[in-house]
Amino acid sequence: MIKSIFKIILIFLVALGFVYISVLITKFLEKDTPKENKVIFIKPEIDTENIINGINSINDILNSYTNSNITKIYTEQVNTSKNLIKSCENPDGVGVISQEQCNREIGKITKIINLEGNPSNGWLYIKAGIFKKDGSVRPVNDEYETIWFFIDETNFSGHLSVEHSLINRITDDGYTELLFDLSEVVLFDLSEKNNIKNESKDLIEQLKKKNPHFIASFVSTLEQGVIAEFKIGLDSGKINIE
């Protein structure tokens, strides 16, 4: 009787071993088998006039920004700290682990600013990236990394929608460079990432409210993110840093 039970257990263990080995072999083969890439067919009808208009439009935007009254919000680069991400992470979508600690960490990178004058137009400029192991910088990958921003309150906080930027490009030194119309900044929650609402925030009007204002930005990433430059340009008036 005991020998029969032992044989059954032995057969079961052997069968289980075969199943486990089969699974490992299957995963190994799937890993080494190249996946079929989906081909995207592109065949535009080139219109050089429209292309030139697009180039001129970008140049006009850049000229308007570079000729504006520009204030550096961050005078030095701001690295994403592990404590900041850990404190403000929202893994279950129901709220951060510690609101008090999250706000304390955001406070470390927050600047107090005051608006002087009455601007009509403005621009938000951010240059950001991710440090690689060799010390060089790569662009922010908007598939799984974002740039978080806030001014004054929760209603004016969230991840910046790069799709709604005026300019989104990569610099020669590997950074992501973004320029936004300050009156039409789209902020979103990560739960809306695949369906971002086209609801912009007018940050110029927000700045015109009673001084002072509180402002901050950081790269939301599990790696070493950095805000290299964070500036605001206004067509008139200026921003003073306390």
Phi, psi (degrees; rounded to nearest 5) at 72: -80, 115
Q: Would you say 129 and 140 are in contact if contact means Cβ atoms under 8 Å apart?
A: yes
- Tokens 């709604």 correspond to 164
> How far is residue 152's CA from residue 164's CA, in Å, rounded to a whole number?
21
- Per-residue model confidence (pLDDT) at position 32: 47
> How far is residue 30's CA from residue 242's CA, in Å, rounded to a whole number?
58
- Per-residue model confidence (pLDDT) at position 15: 54
Phi, psi (degrees; rounded to nearest 5) at 234: -125, 145
**pLDDT tens digit string along 127-148?**
999 999 998 999 999 888 999 9
Q: What is the dihedral of CA 204, 209, 212, 217, to 10 degrees?
A: -40
- Per-residue model confidence (pLDDT) at position 33: 46
Instruction: Provide the whole-model pTM.
Output: 0.77
- Per-residue model confidence (pLDDT) at position 117: 95
Q: Would you say 83 and 105 are in contact if contact means Cβ atoms under 8 Å apart?
A: yes
Tell me the pLDDT of the chain (242 aa) as tens digits. Answer: 555 555 555 555 555 555 456 555 555 555 444 445 567 777 778 878 888 877 878 888 888 999 999 999 999 999 998 888 888 887 666 566 678 888 999 999 999 999 999 999 999 999 999 999 998 999 999 888 999 999 999 999 999 999 899 999 999 999 999 999 999 999 988 766 666 666 899 999 999 999 999 999 999 988 899 999 999 999 999 999 99
Question: 3-class DSSP state for residue 60?
Answer: helix
| Exposure string for 142-163, b = 16+ CB within 10 A, e = fewer | beebbbbbbbeeeebbbbbbbe
Strands (E), the chain: 69-72, 78-79, 111-116, 122-131, 137-138, 146-151, 157-160, 167-170, 176-181, 185-188, 200-201, 213-220, 224-234, 238-241
